[in-house]
Structure 1
Amino acid sequence: MSASPLQSDFSPIERLDGQPDSGLILLCDHASNALPAEYGTLGLPPAQLERHIGYDIGARAVTLALSARLRAPALLTRFSRLLIDPNRGADDPTLVMRLSDGALVPGNARVDHAEIARRIERFHRPYHRAIGDLVNDKLARGIVPVLFSVHSFTPVWRGVPRPWHVTLLWDKDPRIARPMIEAFRRDPALVVGDNEPYDGALEGDTLYQHATLRGLPHALIELRQDLIGTQEGAEDWADRIARALSPLIIDPAIRRIEHWGSRTGPLAQPSHR
């Protein structure tokens, strides 16, 4: 389900148009493990790029299926998070990882400020520019969009199983996250997290830049990778998410610009996703 790790003709963004009047924008920050040919495999064995350190396993397939079901536009990255992480602010020290979950990344070991600036300009900035342009286009049409970001997490972390099937991450704005958490918790078979295993308050991340600062409704969903690692699993979870999200993106009480001063719900232990 992932892209080939090496690509010579390289474009940093995958776009799905959706319906022009859609009130939803789908985002997938870690959709691909692909790398431009000039970077090789960043000195890693190719198998390392197939791990979660290279991309969010299953997230792209879920995003594509959601876009089809909800006829919503989507923006997805086409480069590995190991090249540069688009879900970080440009000044974040983890923007380019030299060590990721025990794996040394030789191609990043001696990366300097000039190379980081080059990667920002070629990969990071075009993605964020595309998001900003799409948001501005919606607002110009009189549409206040919901921004919804799709991620995935490993079923085990450092030997400890993670019990959640699905979690919602959010910072200050609960308008999307809380109703979705409640909807998923109606299924007794699901373990549903609220800002677990990560904290949704990460200043400078994608949703902070494009939604929190602009007062737009938003949330980030995290899905356990063993549940969406096949096309069947991705389609199943796209169905579940679409059912929970559909009523929210047509609710005028939710789809309005509103700035929130402080967090209004549970907070997990801090962790840098």
Structure 2
Amino acid sequence: MAAYVQDAIMLLGDSITQGGYEFNGFAARLAHVYNRKMDVINRGYSGYNTDWILPVFEQIFATQHEQQHVPKVRLLVIWFGANDAAVPPKEQHVPLPRYKENLATLIWMVSSPDSPRYSPDTRVVLLTPPPVNTLQWSVRQASKDPPQSLDRDFEVTRTYAEAAKEVGAADGVPVVDVWTKFWEGAGKVEAELKKYLTDGLHLNEEGYAVVFEELTKTIAEKYPKYHHDNLQFVFAPFDQICADLPHYKEITKKRSAFES
């Protein structure tokens, strides 16, 4: 008899995703509400952009043949753009057209029957990069040894957030607009983005709380079948286990004999 493998949610992104398991991060919150329903697989890679993630994704997402031996990824959450939007000559920079192409490729890899990694069981959600607070980030850059110049731009990051939404619309994939949610929450004042950001780029607890709420709201609206409130425990709760089940009685009998 084959062992049962629990389904999963895969989070694919950069350091903002990698940090999602920090205290009350969005990944930690997801793991809590999906506990015993679906596993949360965090595949966040600090510093990565969409160019660098493509060959990695080919290694971490199972091919069609392999999928019968691993957990089914029911939700794939893709969150890139914060590094792609770095200002040249920063090595992380990915030109806007290629960023859009890379996002579309990631979606194609799991949604197209022509892809070796086609997964008809997988539903995709895109997240836009959050706005960057250059006031905070410039302080961080200046504090390095040796000091570094500002390598992010508020308006440039905004264009990458808009591009992510365009890709989602073109491919029929829901998008969590983190950029707009943070910007409006900050009263459209860049300095006030510190409400959500630790250093101008990475999220604090409040920022992750917003992402968790918006992501779960999107899942409820677009993929209600996979919202945590609509899923049952994989194995029955303890109070539903019947004491007169044959295997339970047999285990009890053997335990009693052993203890005597």
Which band: TM-score by shorter chain? Answer: 0.3 to 0.5
**Which has more strand, going by share of residues?**
1
Structure scoring higher RCO (CA < 8 A, sep ≥ 6) equals 1
Larger radius of gyration: 2
**Which has more helix, going by share of residues?**
2
Q: What is the TM-score with the length of structure 2 in the denominator?
A: 0.34
Q: What is the TM-score with the length of structure 1 in the denominator?
A: 0.33
